[in-house]
Amino acid sequence: MTDSTITVRGWLGADVQLRAAAGVPVASFRLACTPRRFNRRTETWSDGLTQWYTVSAWRGLADNCAASLRRGDPVVVHGRLEARTYVNANGVEVLSLEIDALHVGHDLSRGTTVFTRAPRSEPDTAASEAATPEAAA
């Protein structure tokens, strides 16, 4: 596989936006990551430039992100990295870093959270009853 995978930790810049694409749930959010460096000479910490990522999560992960994440939450995201370029309204070429999320969770080095297992979707009972031999008789 030639995908570039990445794991980043950062802070949600806004609440998760949930939409449907071809009938499939998709959650999108912006993730801010600001690297910190320790300068041994001055014995001080300094912040680097904030890197912004657009994160997309699909299907069940999308529903779970929308139900669990809020603006300002510290999160860890693991997924496939895509660098896209486009020309904005001012005619300037912009580089956009996008992550197709495979795993998303709260960053537990920053606090605690409570996990609730998502219920499994039950098969359609009418369809399963029609498939039984008793229903065919």
Confidence (pLDDT) at 108: 93
In this predicted structure, what is the pLDDT of residue 26? 97
pLDDT at position 119 is: 78
Listed in sequence order, the residues at least 6 apart from 70 whose beta carbon sits closer than 8 Å to its beta carbon are 12, 15, 16
- Closest-CA residue to 76 (of 105, 102, 51): 105
pLDDT at position 118? 79
Mean pLDDT, 10 residues at a time, over the chain (137 residues)?
Answer: 87 96 96 93 93 96 96 97 93 94 95 85 56 50
pTM of the predicted model as reported, rounded to 2 decimal places = 0.78
State how many domains the chain has.
1
Domain harbouring 101, CATH code: 2.40.50.140
Range list of H helices, 19-137: 59-68, 125-130, 133-136
Domain that holds residue 51: 5-136
Which pLDDT value is given to residue 1?
A: 59
pLDDT at 4: 87
Q: Which residues contact 23 (CB under 8 A, 6 or more apart)?
A: none
Report pLDDT for 59. 95
Distances (CA, A) of 85 to 2, 98, 132: 20, 11, 54
